[in-house]
Amino acid sequence: MGQRNKRWTMVALAGVLSTAAVAGAATMANLPPEQKQGSIGFRSGGVGVEQRTAMKEVARNYALELEFVKGTKAPREYLSGVRVDIKDTADQTVLSTVSEGPLLLARLPAGKYSISATDAGSTESRTIVVSEGKPQRVVFDWK
């Protein structure tokens, strides 16, 4: 490869890396802050396309992704203000919060959990098993 081709390759590579860094910074800027409840870290939000996209991009780093929607026809309504309670097998609450948007990401240790989500007085429940390295995604849909 000639010197000129090497130079163009390096310029192109620098451009790609710069674009990726800017995109990563934009994602981080749109994320709601991570909160803590006991030993559980979580993010709640997803209001607006940019924040929802940013949360979807980092969801793989969390053991659990919850999504809250309503309606059977597109476009479905995204919900916020959903009451979320997550309990372990000893019936101990590990997370109890109100969602600040249609998405909630939680860092849970491996184990079995029961999740209750309440919107407008209607409660939906799910049981999940979290395994190391296998994020779970659960959609709560009020029809």
pLDDT in tens, 81-110: 999 999 999 999 999 999 999 999 999 999
Domain 31-142 has CATH 2.60.40.10: yes
pLDDT single digits (tens) 38-69: 999 999 999 999 999 999 999 999 999 999 99
Number of helices and strands in the chain (H, E): 2, 10
* Residue 16 predicted with pLDDT over 50: no
More confident site: 70 or 14: 70
Domain spans of the chain, in order of start: 31-142
Going from the C-alpha of 119 to that of each of 20, 113, 133, the distances in angstroms are 38, 20, 30
What are the percentages of helix, strand and coil residues in the chain, rounded to 5?
30, 40, 30
How much is the average pLDDT of 98-125?
A: 97
Strand order in the sheet with 111-119: 93-98, 83-87, 111-119, 122-130
